[in-house]
Amino acid sequence: MVRRFFPGLAMVLLSGCSSVSYYSQLAGGQWQLLRAREPVSQVIADPSRPQVLRDHLVQSQKARTFASEHLHLPDNQSYRLYADIGRPYVVWNVFATQEFSLSPQNHCFPIAGCVAYRGYYSQGAARGEAALLRQQGMDVSIGGVEAYSTLGWFNDPIMNSMMNWGDERLATLIFHELAHQRFYVKDDTEFNESFASFVEQEGTRQWRAARGLAPAGPSGLKQRDAFIQLILDTRKRLEKVYAQPLAGDAMRLAKAQAFERLRSEYRQMRDSQWGGDKRYDAWINQPLNNARLLPFGLYDQWVPAFAALFRQEGGDWMKFYAAVEKLGGLPVAQRKAVLGQLEARAN
């Protein structure tokens, strides 16, 4: 479910708040990625490259042009370059919480601000960090990341890790990541990801319309929204559990019961409403803990609010971005209050 990460070589130079080895792997991984870049146009023109790759990249460039010309997203070399990094994910994010808390272990960087995970360019390094955290009694989760934005510090490439989806999915990734370059607020993951997710969703709707395609079918989106709501409901139940003055064993039992209720409700919904569609079975059948719930809500919490703001600005992208920038400049409490008002209006 997680695909965003904000690294950068400048972090190595600007921060002394973490180990040298961690920042060294960030620098090495980013440098490897930069060296692997090549113009998409060259890949498309090279008959020795797989035809499927070339065709996929041709479609990606149509979406890339649409992003700048119609969605008014940054017009630069990002996603006009390609990089084969030789692995299925570009980075692996490690999420962690205390055993009886849904608050993430945050990590702060000068460029990206504070985020709820730590990223590693090596799956082995991510697993090593996760093992150390588990030894400390933390709840831990690892998620592979297929794409990220350096927020305009570098020209981000399309990577082979982004090529496992269809043409439209690749377009949505491009829209989302360019939105991060368009505007980003330090230390507010929910704001940033919800903004980019709205741009992704509305951008995709307009991209389909521009090609004369019907709107995407609602069934998959409805299932996704219903699944996310189950997760969010579980988070609320766990928050109430963790707020109680329970002994450790009683707290663990209540925690386990909350996760078992999640599985039960999911299976009931799957079988009674989705016709047995098992698209989320793999996720639900893995061991569950607090850290696995963290990404849910980060990408979607304020999407209805941004949709309401977009309508308020008459569907004009430039006016919308100006309103978003104004909103992002407010103090956090005031910003959330305005978003809440927009969300209520959307409902």
For residue range 188-211, list pLDDT tens digits in order.
888 999 999 999 999 999 999 999
Whether residue 265 is contained in a domain is answered as: yes
In this structure, are 112 and 228 located in the same domain? no
Contacts for 145 with CB less than 8 Å, ≥ 6 apart: 2, 3, 4, 5, 89, 90, 91, 92, 93, 119, 161
Vertex 329: Cα angle to 179 and 111 (nearest 5): 60
Q: Note whether 224 and 171 are same-domain residues.
A: no
CA 318 to chain centre: 24
Instruction: Say how many CA atoms lie within 13 Å of 255 toward its Cβ.
Output: 23
- Is 229 among the domain residues? yes
Structural domain includes residue 331:
no
**Residue 190 placed within a domain:** no
If we measure between CA atoms, which residue out of 185, 68, 150 comes closest to residue 194? 185
Residue 170 counted as domain residue? yes
Looking at the fold, whether 33 and 110 belong to one and the same domain comes out as yes
Which regions of the chain are under pLDDT 50? 1-17
- Claim to verify: residue 151 and residue 277 sit in the same structural domain: no
pLDDT at 74 (0 to 100): 97
Return the pLDDT at 186: 86
- What pLDDT shows up at residue 56? 96
Residues 180, 247: one domain?
no
Q: Are residues 288 and 145 in the same domain?
A: no
Does residue 212 lie in a domain region?
no
Residues 314/216/179/318 CA torsion (nearest 10 deg): -20
Residue 207 lies in a domain: no
* Boundary-marking domain end, from 293, 311, 336: 293
- Are 123 and 250 in a shared domain? no
- Shared domain for 116 and 159, answered yes or no, is yes
The pLDDT value given to residue 218: 62
CA distance 203 to 171: 9
Give dist(CA 247, CA 244) in Å, integer: 9
What is the 3-class SS of the chain, one letter each residue?
A: CCCCCCCCHHHHHHCCCCCHHHHHHHHHHHHHHHHHEEEHHHHHHCCCCCHHHHHHHHHHHHHHHHHHHCCCCCCCCCCCEEECCCCCCCEEEEEEECCCCCCECCEEECCCEEECCEEECCHHHHHHHHHHHHHCCCEEEEEEECCCCCCCCCCCCEEHHHCCCCHHHHHHHHHHHHHHHHCCCCCCHHHHHHHHHHHHHHHHHHHHHHCCCCCCCHHHHHHHHHHHHHHHHHHHHHHHHHCCCCCHHHHHHHHHHHHHHHHHHHHHHHHHHCCCCCCCHHHHHCCCCHHHHCCCCCCCCCHHHHHHHHHHCCCCHHHHHHHHHHHHCCCHHHHHHHHHHHHHHHC
Over residues 124-170, the pLDDT tens digits come to 999 999 999 999 999 999 999 888 888 888 999 999 999 888 899 99
**Which residue range is the domain that position 73 belongs to?**
9-184
Q: Rounded distance, CA 202 to CA 206, Å?
A: 6
Domain count along the chain: 2
Q: Are residues 103 and 239 in the same domain?
A: no
Residue 158 and residue 251 in one domain: no
The whole-number pLDDT of residue 12 equals: 34
Residues 63 and 137 in one domain: yes
How many CA atoms within 13 Å lie on the side-chain side of 325? 10
Q: Are residues 224 and 176 in the same domain?
A: no
pLDDT reported for residue 244: 96
Asked if residue 115 is part of any domain, the answer here is: yes
Q: Which two tokens stand for residue 159?
A: 């990577």
Confidence at residue 15, expressed as pLDDT on a 0 to 100 scale? 37
- Looking at residue 6, its pLDDT comes to 45
Query: Hey, what amino acid is at 285?
Result: N
